[in-house]
Copies of this chain bind each other. A is one copy, B any other.
């Protein structure tokens, strides 16, 4: 009953960059060659800059290591995480394209229930090019999909929808669990293919995973900051979560949509739960305060650009989360530095 998983959508070859935080797995790009080769890749090396990353023949790419980041951003490089995949957001900043797709190097091509290989990128593009419906829930999911529509009782004035800023894709095989859940359910695999795309409603927060994520840089890019993680920082594995919470409140404020669901990738291996627990444990406490904070954020009407919203948010972070831990004051500064750096590399 499922439709083909490769929707017909403009490929946006000249308007989309694929951002990859390092490539440890040599097979990774080979597996994606049929889908990724037409696109430009931006690889941001997350570890030792002296280590060589091998990119197979035939790919068009640029590669940045820590030395490049320091050279390009100067003192502002302090806002980019080191030895952590959070550094990928540097790629969002140096891109000159309208759209970004980011994927981890342990994510392979998944198959739909008919056994067909899923072109994740094509589905993300489809998600980004069709409107979202953040203001009212449609029970038949994405109303713009072939064979679906708005159901009875959906206000006609809302059927034009909102521009889609973010497309959050999911994962078959290894689910994106936190360390405690990994420890408790080491053998759990996600085998359920849910054939749906839906809009996360306005004023609802969600856990945004950076493994398989696409967004419209022009609409939301400056809010897609992956924070301070990894080397020298007290937490890890909250980079994408942080970006998701910030993006969602800003999308809500600006009337933009966030979608989740299709496409799936095949997440090949679970990261080490013991290492993850060490990275996460402060975040597990802190998020109990961070979520109510984001749920209560009201941005001033005067903030009409993503940059203005983000700077305002950085001030709120200092004021409301600073008392939890000095880390949040540092993060607040880094958020402001990130916007400075973004604007420097992306002059209006």
A residues lining the B interface (CB < 8 Å): 1-3, 113, 136-141, 147-158, 168, 170, 175-178, 180-181, 185, 188-196, 198, 200-209, 237-238, 240-241, 244, 260, 280, 284, 287-288, 291
Apart from A1-B113, A155-B288: 11 A-B pairs, beta carbons within 8 A: A2-B193, A138-B207, A139-B209, A140-B175, A147-B189, A147-B192, A151-B207, A152-B181, A152-B207, A153-B287, A192-B195
With both chains docked as a complex, state the minimum distance between the C-beta of A143 and any C-beta of chain B, in angstroms: 10
> Is B185 within 8 A of A149, CB to CB?
yes
Cα(A180)–Cα(B159), bound, Å: 13
Report copies per complex: 2
**Given A175-B151, A177-B151: A137 touches B192 (CB 8 Å cut-off):** no
Residues of B within 8 A of A202 (CB): 204
6 closest cross-chain pairs (CB), A and B: A153-B207, A137-B206, A201-B204, A153-B241, A152-B178, A194-B196
Residue of B nearest to A152 (CB): B178
With both chains docked as a complex, state the minimum distance between the C-beta of A165 and any C-beta of chain B, in angstroms: 16
Contact of A152 among B137, B140, B200, B237 (CB under 8 A): B237
Cα(A185)–Cα(B109), bound, Å: 35
